[in-house]
Amino acid sequence: MTEFLISPDPADPRLTRAVTGIDQTGASAELRVIEERALTIFLNSQEIVTAMTIGDYPDYLAVGYLLNQGMLQPDDTITAIDYDEELEVVVVRTERRTDYEEKMKKKTRTSGCAVGTVFGDVMEQLEGVKLPEAELRTSWLYTLARKINTRPSLYLAAGAIHGTVLCRRDVPLVFMEDVGRHNAVDKIAGWMFREGVEGADKILYTTGRLTSEMVIKTALMGIPVLASRSGFTAWGVELAEQVGLTLIGRMRGQRFHCLSGAERMVFDADPGAVGEEDRKHQRKGAGDG
């Protein structure tokens, strides 16, 4: 499969802005900083949520968000997606009539940055979910980390952003970035739905914490492996064990930890042969937000 079917464009002038300030010596300094925009998502005639996002791929973000909240069903037919950049609104239209008035009342705040939300009955979607027992080779993890961390990105250009990558074996396919890790995941979910791509043979790589929300989204996407540069939460690990998700965290350079699904791992690479990361590619801070 072709590598990086989609990847960030650090040169896109809509996504960053030059800001002038001073450095630690008092000298003038100019930095590129990430833009944030509000995006209001509608499902048919109902307003669902307003999310803070960088503004790229609003169609994928809207579809993925609605899927991961259980408001779009896998067999739904999308008839249109209307995006108004000036109004900062995206409307997803379906053949099926929808009404989520009651579900909206159950909305709760989650640990995600950029105002992540999850609805009260989303846990019900995990009932009966059992992910395929997919093999994971350590050589794939090391190769993916090298390819992803050295790829031109908004993080390397401006920092303060999360990345999520859909992969197959050691091939990165779709690379999304956003101010919230959940937004980046939702964009990938939306791409998979619109392109008819299944998750059973995929790996999801993220820079964010392995929280319950991240595990739930990955499981609902049908992806059996979730890997991160960052750490774990106890509930995230518990849910991963429940659905059969292989969970890899603190993946930096030669090192990583697996807290769920270790029996599916094939250790076919010598960690000693893996070099340490170049400091300029280390995502400090952003991966833990």
pLDDT tens sequence across 71-92: 999 999 999 999 999 999 999 9
For residue 265, how many other CB atoms are within 10 A of its CB?
Answer: 16
Residues 59 and 193: their CA atoms lie apart, in Å, by: 11
Q: Please state, in angstroms and rounded to a whole number, the distance separating the CA atoms of residues 76 and 15.
A: 32
DSSP one-letter code for 180: S
Distances (CA, A) of 170 to 28, 131, 176, 189: 43, 20, 17, 20
Q: In the chain, list all ranges with CATH 3.40.140.10.
A: 136-288
User: How confident is the model at residue 113, as a pLDDT?
Assistant: 46
How far CA 255 is from CA of 145, 251, 276, in Å, comes to: 11, 6, 9
What does the pLDDT read at residue 2? 79
| Contact between residue 133 and residue 244 where contact means Cβ atoms under 8 Å apart | yes
This prediction has a pTM of 0.89
Taking residues 124-131, report their average pLDDT: 84
> Among candidates 61, 70, 59, which has minimal Cα distance to 106?
70
DSSP 6: B
**Per-residue pLDDT band at 288 (split at 50, 70, 90):** very low
Q: How far apart are CA 28 and CA 23, in angstroms?
A: 7
Beta bridge partners of 176: 164
Q: Is the pLDDT of residue 125 over 80?
A: no
Query: Which pLDDT band holds residue 127 (cuts at 50, 70, 90)?
Result: confident
Give start-end residues of each CATH 3.10.20.10 domain in the chain.
Answer: 37-121
Would the pLDDT of 283 be above 80?
Answer: no
Q: Which fold has domain 136-288?
A: Cytidine Deaminase; domain 2 (3.40.140)
Distances (CA, A) of 177 to 120, 253, 287: 27, 21, 12
Instruction: Check residue 152 and report its DSSP letter.
Output: -
The per-residue pLDDT for range 217-274, each reduced to its tens digit, is 999 999 999 999 999 999 999 999 999 999 999 999 999 999 999 999 999 999 998 8
pLDDT of residue 116: 44
Per-residue pLDDT at 108? 46
Q: Which range, 1-5, 60-64, 150-154, is most confident?
A: 60-64
Residue 239: enclosing H or E segment and its boundaries? helix 234-243
CA angle 227, 251, 261 (to 5 degrees): 45
pLDDT tens-digit readout, 99-120 = 887 677 665 444 444 344 455 5
Q: What is the pLDDT of residues 155-200, one digit of tens each?
A: 999 999 999 999 999 999 999 999 988 999 999 999 999 999 999 9
pLDDT digits (tens, 9 = 90+) for 31-71: 999 999 999 999 999 999 999 999 999 999 999 999 998 89
Architecture of domain 37-121: Roll (3.10)
